[in-house]
Amino acid sequence: MALLPIAEAQARLLALAGPTPVETVPLGQAVGRWAAEPVVARRTQPETDLSAMDGYAIRFADLPGPWAVIGESAAGSGFAGTVAPGEAVRIFTGAPMPAGADTVLVQEEAARDGDQLSLAGEGPSYLGRNTRRRGLDFAQGDALIAAGERLTPARIALAAIGGHAALPVGRKVRVAIAATGDELVAPGMPIGPAQLPESNRTMLAAQLADLPVEIVDLGILPDDLGALTHAFATVEADLLITSGGASVGDHDLVRPALEAAGATIDFWRIALRPGKPMMAGTRGDMVVLGLPGNPVSVFVTALLFAKPLIAHRSGAADPFPRGRSAILGEPLPANGPRTDYLRAALIDGRVHASAIQDSSMLRTLARSTCLIVREPHAPAANSSDSVEILDIA
Ligand SMILES: Nc1nc2c(c(=O)[nH]1)N[C@H]1C(S)=C(S)[C@@H](COP(=O)(O)OP(=O)(O)OC[C@H]3O[C@@H](n4cnc5c(N)ncnc54)[C@H](O)[C@@H]3O)O[C@H]1N2
Ligand code: MOO
């Protein structure tokens, strides 16, 4: 069977399920979620002309003064009267500009003696200096955040100042994570020579920590068709992620167990290194993602498939990681038939691939800051050539 190109596998995976149902959450819980609907300004910001500095509200035409100070405008209150020619109002940052005034003289450039005010510096250079006009940031009805955009700290603050206390977002994605393999032992436990500390669940949960997920930990499952089938048939989640048992060995039972549990496999084996034996399918509304067991294969397939799928189900319009270009530090050989994601480090503007690219090597992965993306059959590359990288640290 031909290996599926990555882009095709990504598209097919996202087509397996749509976004989770929408819920409305307070802004304090919205960070890292995706806007389910456009967020529109319920007010104009600023609502009125404001001072941007501490000083005196004046009429620009009155420069160079002097002025009589007739009152005060503070943030939250304002000044009720009107500033007539020759008059000034003491004003503070964020306070409403009084009627009649159009410019602010900063206090560092003013001299005050009782109610008398005079210029003690250059003074404002143009009409409107040191003020913020009504609607400078946005007007009521303006689009603030598009549906499908991530709710970053700045966008949450924008929603707040736009008059919103809560926002509609996709409900959290329930992700069940299972490790499979008779050789696996919980980390830190005593271990025999044929055994291995389990690291994939821990890494996956950490990789998903910045996404709106609820993790259901299915633990370490044995290489036993009955036990795997039972676990896969009874789990309740939006997404089931397994690791291990995805390849063609006699103990690679994930695919038969998923099928025995009622799942349909949509695709298996992609033109990707590391991560070739990955499979994807559905069991009812639940998407199942069978990742290979090698730790680096898990890392890469989580980055390229699991995380984008969760983002997509959370309502993201643009769920895939974005590459950028970097300059190679050393030559690279021609690539084979799979897209290769080389563990690499970006040092002083040059990207250096690790000499050994074995998908079991977590220390190499942990030292890497990026992955170099090599397209299928890419020709050999020279030092100083530009390559695409994906940042991972
Ligand atoms: N004859 C073939 N053999 C293999 C092929 C192939 O096409 N033909 N593909 C290779 C590729 S590529 C990969 S990737 C691996 C992945 O296979 P599996 O998904 O079946 O993975 P396992 O055999 O279960 O495990 C591989 C490796 O990773 C260790 N492992 C597994 N789970 C964990 C865990 N949770 N934490 C830490 N380490 C884990 C496991 O002990 C193995 O060493 O298959 C190749 N073989
Ligand atoms: O695809 Mo496997 O992950 O190359 O080792």
- Report which secondary-structure segment, H or E, holds 161: helix 153-161
Are residues 198 and 232 part of one domain?
yes
78, 113, 132: which is the final residue of a domain? 132
| Atom number in ligand 2 closest to CA 276 | 1
Same domain, 86 and 128: yes
Are 192 and 306 part of one and the same domain?
yes
pLDDT of residue 50: 97
Q: Are residues 183 and 308 in the same domain?
A: yes
User: Which of 199, 190, 298, 292 minimizes the C-alpha distance to 249?
Assistant: 292
Full-model pTM = 0.95
Domain contains 265 = yes
| Alpha-carbon distances, residue 326 vs 29, 260, 273, 299, 345 (angstroms) | 36, 46, 20, 21, 11
Same structural domain, 308 and 242: yes
Angle, vertex CA 88, rays to CA 86 and CA 94, nearest 5:
150
Q: Does 72 reside within a domain? A: yes
Beta pairing class for 370-374 and 386-391: antiparallel
Give yes or no for residue 290 CB within 6 A of ligand 1.
no
Total number of domains constituting the chain = 4
Q: Is residue 357 part of a domain?
A: yes
Between CA 164 and CA 333 the distance in angstroms is: 54
User: Residue 308's domain spans which residues?
Assistant: 6-20+172-313
Domain assignment of residue 318, yes or no = no
Strands 286-291 and 324-328: unpaired
Q: Are 393 and 370 in contact (CB under 8 A)?
A: yes
* 41/75 same-domain check: no
Query: According to the model, what pLDDT value does residue 1 have?
Result: 64
Most ligand 2 atoms within 8 A of CB, residue of 273, 299, 364 to mutate: 273
pLDDT tens, position by position, 341-387: 999 999 999 999 999 999 999 999 999 999 999 999 999 999 999 99
For position 2, what pLDDT does the model report? 84
Residues in the chain with pLDDT values less than 70? 1
pLDDT tens-place string over residues 31-68: 999 999 999 999 999 999 999 999 999 999 999 999 99
**What's the CATH number where 93 sits?**
2.170.190.11
- Ligand 2 first shell, C-beta below 6 A: 273-276, 292, 294, 297, 359
Looking at the domain assignment, is residue 193 inside a domain?
yes
CA distance 290 to 278: 6
Q: Where are the alpha helices (DSSP H) in 199-253?
A: 200-207, 225-234
Domain shared by 103 and 226, yes or no: no
Which residue has its alpha carbon closest to ligand 2 atom 4?
274
Largest CA distance in the chain: 94
- The CATH number of the domain holding residue 152 is 3.90.105.10
Question: Do residues 39 and 145 lie in contact, with contact meaning Cβ atoms separated by under 8 Å?
Answer: yes
Q: What is the DSSP letter of 66?
A: -
Q: Is 71 a domain residue?
A: yes
d(CA 355, CA 140): 57
Q: What is the full DSSP assignment across 352-389?
A: EE-S---TT-HHHHHH-SEEEEE-TTPPPB-TT-EEEE
Select from 294, 360, 365 the residue to mutate for testing ligand 2; criterion: most ligand atoms less than 8 Å from CB: 294
Does one domain contain both 150 and 208?
A: no
Secondary element (H or E) of residue 259: helix 254-260
* 125 plus 30 within the same structural domain: no
Ligand number, closest to the Cα atom of 295: 1
Last residue of a domain, one of 292, 313, 334: 313
Q: Any idea what the CATH number is for the domain that residue 365 is in?
A: 2.40.340.10
95 and 58, same domain (yes or no)? yes
In a domain, 185, yes or no: yes
Can you tell me which residue has the tokens 């994570």?
A: 177
| Smallest-distance ligand from the CA of 254 | 1
**Structural domain ending residue among the three candidates 270, 293, 313:** 313
Pair 29, 290: CB distance under 8 Å = no
Quick one: 190 and 251 in the same domain?
yes
Task: Give the pLDDT score at 248.
Answer: 86
CATH of the domain at 195: 3.40.980.10
**In angstroms, rounded to a whole number, what is the distance separating the alpha carbons of residues 25 and 159?**
12
Please tell me whether residues 29 and 13 are part of one structural domain.
Answer: no
